[in-house]
Structure 1
Amino acid sequence: MTLSSSPFGIGDSTKKEQNQILGADALMESLKNHGVDTIFGYPGGAILPIYDAVYKAEKAGWVKHILVRHEQGGAHAADGYARSTGKVGVCFGTSGPGATNLVTGIATAQMDSVPLVVITGQVPRPAIGTDAFQETDIFGITLPIVKHSWVVRDPSEIASVIAQAFFIASSGRPGPVLVDIPKDVGQELFDYQPVQPGSLIPAGFTPPQKPDPVAISKALDLIERAKKPLLYVGGGVISASAHDTLFAIAKRYHLPVTTTLMGKGAFDERESLSVGMLGMHGTAYANFAVTECDLLVAIGARFDDRVTGRLDSFAANAKVVHFEVDPAEINKNRVADVAVLGDLAISLSDLHELSKRRTVKPNTQEWLAQIEEWKIKYPLLIPSKEGEIYPQEVLIEIRDLAPDAYITTDVGQHQMWAAQYLRNSPRHWISSAGLGTMGFGVPAALGVQVALPKQQVICIAGDASILMNIQELGTISQYQLNTKIIIINNHWQGMVRQWQQSFYDERYSATNMLNGEPNFVALANAFGVGGVIIKERNSLKEKLKEALNSEGPMLIDVHVRRDENCYPMVPPGKSNAEMVGLPD
């Protein structure tokens, strides 16, 4: 072992063999080989050899490292980068607290099926297991929340491990993987042999099977016979880039479409066939439709509890067709009458091609008329123009002023209002759905903006959520990202307060954020970020427009009605049809 530098960079290389490089340089070469152009991270002792290689790679001009202010922010930024581009996101963290700070971001990506390659530094090999300074078993800690993980104990494994990591992260149902690299592995010279992307199938990995033509034919038979069909679309359609085929099928058979929180953007919500989001805070007409349908076609969705409400009442009178890439999801929460297992892009394409060989006679007119009646009778609230600003009207203004923006959100009431009122294109909606991670929005937005510097990126935040990772304003300022952050500020942990009001007899325990809340505009200014506060309705549209059109980063603090609740709402333990807060 030697501490010499790479022959590609700085230092004395007189004793090196011609083809030998350091483990850290081999890592960077492997990332370059897999098309990585951006890394989000934070350095530390155990990962210093890798950061020395990052320095040389940045000097060579092929990669950009984004210095976040907290490792959790780095994981969320890589997540936003991945969701908005469809590429694998990459983040770095050092050993011990650096690695454990990544855990929430890894779990967020796992729950929402986002492809990440997370690389952590580790103490040197001889020190592993000795409780060395900043040692944690990040491999063991993250086992339940990654698709796969490695501890690299020999530098000669680096190229093959990275090839496997990218393959697993992006294949089938996407997800995060972890690569833990001891410090001395990065410092060791060896004969590096690159491994081409996709050339190495990991042992024990089963690629998605081809869709069964018989199952596809049975699924189409059910669609053609159904009188009250409903397409229930999840994030898998976006991961598979299958939205165009989905649209063609829905239009061909006149099928109404509802989406999950993760599925927003998979189907144009301005289309008459859209019934918006379903579930706990879904539209009334989506929840009535799923309750009354006679055929539920689940596509890349997993029947999670926030969608189904009381499971035994969810689409209780419907046959179920389930299109899914992950066999573990089939029959997990709801037994399917027909299961079509395989890559959704292929499955939906096969379904569409088969439909072209049949005579199409849509018979959903009465069903669509019923849904239209529900839309008229139970619309989303359009708030009055009296008193304090309603949070919903802020979202309506954003929808009108920035219809094509990439939207990230934090978690809470503002997230649900955004999901209800905004209409998004594929990959333009980026929100922590499965884990519900407060603090996700700002770092995710900076990740999207780094990936797509010419696009409009807006983070919808809450005054409580934003404080979880507000330090990333420093990152946004450092790189002068054109990101706009809009705080829906009601001085509460709004969703928790709503539950305390509804189910805990208005005992508001530890949810009032007014005392100790910072001056957000002054705080943004302290980071070098512009800011504006909006408290009056008559200036809402004008100030929002001016701020959104301004150059550079901007924080917009909009003070809204304190006690406004997010409706409709399906109370816990109730069926989707038993919503509260419906219009009179």
Structure 2
Amino acid sequence: MLENGDLILRYLERLGVEYVFGVPGGSIEPLYDALARSERRGGIRPITARHECGAAFMAEGYARETGKLGVCCSTAGPGATNLLTGVASAYADGIPMLVISAQTALDKFGQGSLQETSCTSIHTVEMFARCTRYNTLVSHPAQLETKLLQAVSHAMSNQPGPVHLSIPLDVMRHRNADAVDPGLLHAFLHHDVAPNPTSVQALLKELAAASKVTLVLGEGAAEASDMLVALAEARNWLIVTTPRGKGLIDSFHPLYRGVFGFAGHDSATDALKQEHAERVVAIGTALDEVSTCGWDPTTILSDRLIHLSSNPTHLSRSTMARLVILGSPKLLFESVSKILIKGPDLKPMQTMGGDDGLPTNTRFDEADRCFDRTGRIKPQALMNYMSRICPLDTRVLMDTGNSFLWGIHYWHVRRPNSMSPAKSLFNIGLGFASMGWAIGTSVGMAAANREHPVVCFTGDGSYLMVGQELTVALQENLNVLMLVLNDSSLGMVNHGQKLSGGEQIATRIPEVDFTMMGCALGVESYRVETMEQLEDLDFPDIFSRPGPCLLEVIVDADQIPPMGARMKVLTSSIQN
């Protein structure tokens, strides 16, 4: 006989899940008992976070790296409420995740149990209602299997995101027959949405007649990125990415013009102007603030727009577009490319870099700062140097704050030829923009794939929030390089206050020695204050051995990150 906890794990095994990230506690103990039995037989095992929000971030990192379902869990009460920010972050970025929270036993609902979170107490199911794709209390043992399948179907659909099962203690303990039907799962997993044939013909007509086209690759273009690059090369079309789409194309590709939107490049903006783009084809992007440069009407958001996505939510903001198509970008461009790519087989274009080592066709703000070796470390120079010396297969994450501003603009993506086109090497959590997101997510990503180094850029403010999750990487012996950009302030807020003319308040952080903090955690740690000290580190050795490493980087706090698009939105709101 299987307990319901074992039943859940057997289904998750069929999905290829390897870990459940969480923090144990009284009401979730039956699931951990099942995890102990699973681990003994070589199945799914738990990874213990230091905080439940960190567990949710880790589950997101696992899902991003593997394409599988990320799984996190918590006990009742504060365990469940601690998950919320991480779950909301996954919801905002469309990450498939199964969230399991515990409840006290059903017969004790309304009796004032310790950590009770039922409908008559602190109602956690209601709390999760607006940040999940599916959200339910399993109120009877017979409901579990059906609701689990419904949850998986929503999490892995063409509108992916987190799903939540709240399971009482006694329901989780309930025993069932041993059988699990693996065939049931196939009907509930992601299936490509075939585009309407009439829409495909309309797209062909639009593109065949246009000589100047710019492709905009969002995160939803991943599955078709190789086809899109080949099509652009055959037709000599320009390519830009959204901030979330950065990482799908090599930064040195001759047709690439950089990132458009939040912390983006002027060269990308130029590529979308009417004189360079009779048609703008946006693939797999939601057209939100960060991917439209604050809803700029002169670039993407015009009647030149053709918007394509498999996610209907993405298409809801395309009211001005001349053509909108719901469907799998991969299926769509498989048929389109056969018609638009004519003649003999074309060789892929070779990547191009200038004499200074920067991508030739991307225009950077203050490009000279990328080579400035004077004084405290310039974040521009840090990003330029680290993107050159990291192994090609490095997964990089940029945390909320100055880190993702510097990273979007100055990090150079170098894609190995052998890499799957659907894999992105550059990761940001822009949907909900949670401080500390990259710390837990980097741990989950490293656990998912132990063969490749993971590099996490975070700020001192973010690290002080959730830096203890680095000890999970230590416990799991994961190759995570954590770079803490130390400017003794909440840097993005500080610069935002200055640029908006606001009061200079509440952004200072005491001078913290993060190197000593890292050593106290048992993590190999270094402090660097100059580019010379940075270059003296033996990075090949750091990347080649297991276990985490912390690098405290004293950065020049006077450097202003590329946040003009964000300030435009904030200041227009103030003026209105």
Superposition TM-score tier, normalisation by shorter sequence:
0.7 to 0.9
Question: Alpha carbons of 1:75 and 1:456: their partners in 2 closer, same or farther (altered >3 Å)?
Answer: same
Contact 1:114 1:174 survives alignment (8 Å): yes
Cα shift at 1:310: 3.9
What CA distance in whole angstroms lies between the structure 2 residues aligned with 1:224 and 1:379? 35
C-alpha distance in structure 2 between counterparts of 1:334 and 1:543, whole Å: 52
- Kindly indicate whether the alpha-carbon contact (under 8 Å) linking 1:159 and 1:195 is maintained by their aligned counterparts in 2: no
1:542 is aligned with what amino acid?
D
> 1:331-350 deviations in whole A, cap 9, x for unaligned?
42543211111122212222
Tell me: CA distance 1:249–1:132, structure 2 relative to 1, closer, same or farther (3 Å).
farther
From 375, 389, 403, the equivalent of 1:401 is 389
Mapped partners of 1:272, 1:42: distance in 2: 48
Larger CA deviation: 32-41 vs 293-302: 32-41
CA distance in 2, matches of 1:390, 1:135: 50
- Shift in alpha-carbon separation, 1:68–1:223, aligned structure 2, 3 A: same
Q: Deviations over 1:92-118 (max 9, x none)?
A: 111111111111111111111111111
| CA 1:379–1:495: 2 relative to 1, 3 Å | closer
Describe the SS at the equivalent of 1:101.
Answer: helix
Equivalences for residues 75-474 of structure 1 within 5 A: 75-136=56-117, 137-196=123-182, 199=185, 209-238=193-222, 241-292=223-274, 293-308=277-292, 309-315=294-300, 318-356=303-341, 375=361, 381-383=367-369, 384-402=372-390, 403-424=392-413, 425=415, 426-474=423-471
> 1:77 Cα shift?
0.6
Instruction: State the shift of 1:484 in Å.
Output: 0.7
**8 A Cα contact 1:22 1:190, kept in partner:** yes
CA distance in 2, matches of 1:277, 1:181: 43
Choose 454-463 or 412-421, whichever is displaced more. 412-421
- Helix, strand or coil at the partner of 1:523: helix
Offset from partner CA, 1:494-541 (integer Å, 9 cap, x none): 111111110025x3211111x2x4311111111110100001222221
Q: What SS is found at the alignment partner of 2:532?
A: helix
Rounded to whole Å, the distance in 2 between the matches of 1:157 and 1:357 is 55
Q: Which amino acid aligns with 2:157?
A: S
Give me the CA root mean square deviation. 2.7
Shift of 1:231: 1.0
* TM-score, L = length of structure 1: 0.86
2:368 is paired with a residue of what secondary structure?
Answer: coil
Other structure's SS at 2:139 match: coil
Residue 29 of structure 1 is matched in structure 2 by: 10
SS of the aligned residue for 1:74 comes to helix
Matches of 2:105 and 2:142, distance apart in 1? 16
2-structure distance, mates of 1:520, 1:573: 34
**Correspondences of 1:415-564 after superposition (within 5 Å):** 415-424=404-413, 425=415, 426-505=423-502, 507-513=503-509, 515=510, 517-543=511-537, 545=539, 548-549=542-543, 551=545, 552-564=547-559
Match for 2:330: what amino acid? A
Say whether the 8 Å CA contact 1:391–1:560 is kept in structure 2.
Answer: yes
* Structure 1: runs of 5+ lacking an equivalent: 1-19, 362-371, 576-584
Secondary structure, counterpart of 1:336 in structure 2: coil
SS of the equivalent of 2:167 reads: strand
**2-structure distance, mates of 1:571, 1:160:** 44
Partner of 1:271: helix, strand, or coil? coil
Distance in 2, Cα, partners of 1:574 & 1:182: 45
Q: Which moved more, 1:545-554 or 1:241-250?
A: 545-554
Report which stretch shifted further, 270-279 or 535-544.
535-544
> Counterpart amino acid of 1:163?
L
Moved more, 404-413 or 283-292: 283-292
* CA distance in 1: counterparts of 2:87 and 2:531, whole angstroms: 40
1:189-230 superposed Cα distances (whole Å, 9 cap, x missing partner): 23354242554757xx99764201221222222223224321
Q: Tell me if structure 1 keeps the 8 A contact 2:280–2:300.
A: yes
Q: Distance in 2 between matches of 1:435 and 1:279?
A: 16
Q: Is the 8 A contact 1:530 1:554 kept in 2?
A: yes
Taking structure 1 as reference, are residues 556 and 373 closer, same or farther at Cα in structure 2, changes over 3 Å only? closer
Worse overlay, 116-125 or 129-138: 129-138
Question: Helix, strand or coil: the match of 1:487?
Answer: strand
Q: Is the 8 A contact 1:217 1:354 kept in 2?
A: no
Cα pair 1:490 1:563 within 8 Å, conserved: no
Separation (CA, whole Å) in 1 of partners of 2:150 and 2:47: 24
Q: Give, in whole Å, the separation in 2 of the partners of 1:74 and 1:450.
A: 12
TM-score by length of 2: 0.87
1:260 and 1:377 mapped to 2: Cα distance? 16
Deviations along 1:143-196, one digit per CA (max 9) or x if unpaired, are 111111222223233333333322321121321111111100112223354242
The structural deviation recorded for 1:272 is 1.0
Structure 2 unaligned spans of 5+:
118-122, 347-357, 416-422, 571-576
The residue type paired with residue 97 of structure 1 is P
> How far apart in 1 are the matches of 2:316 and 2:174?
49
* Paired residue secondary structure (1:232): strand
User: Residue by residue, what CA displacement relative to the aligned partner does 1:350-384 show, whole Å, maximum 9, x if unpaired?
Assistant: 222332479999xxxxxxxxxx9995776662313
Distance across 2 between alignment mates of 1:118 and 1:129 = 24
Q: Which amino acid aligns with 2:16?
A: G
One-letter amino acid of the structure 1 residue matched with residue 493 of structure 2: V
> 1:199 and 1:477 mapped to 2: Cα distance?
35
Mapped to 2, the partners of 1:349 and 1:335 lie a distance apart of: 26
Letter matched to residue 145 of structure 2:
A
* Residues 438-469 of structure 1: CA deviation (Å, up to 9, x unaligned): 11111111111111111111111111112221
User: How far is 1:401 from its partner?
Assistant: 0.7
1:376/1:237 CA distance change after superposition, 3 Å: closer
| Aligned length in residues | 539
For residues 145 and 203 of structure 2, what CA distance do their matches in structure 1 show?
Answer: 43
Contact 1:299–1:324 (8 Å) recurs in 2: yes
Question: Quick one: which amino acid aligns to residue 386 of structure 1?
Answer: T
What is the CA–CA distance in structure 2 between the aligned matches of 1:340 and 1:312, rounded to whole Å?
A: 21
Q: Partner letter of residue 72 of structure 1?
A: C
Shift of 1:427: 2.5
Distance between the aligned counterparts of 2:206 and 2:298, measured in 1?
21
Q: Secondary structure at the match of 1:180?
A: strand
The 1:330–1:546 alpha-carbon spacing in structure 2 relative to 1, beyond 3 Å, is: closer
Asked if the contact 2:216–2:240 (Cα under 8 Å) also holds between the matched residues in 1, the reply is: yes
After superposing the two structures, state which structure 1 stretch, 191-200 or 251-260, moved more: 191-200
Q: Identity rate of aligned residues, in percent?
A: 28
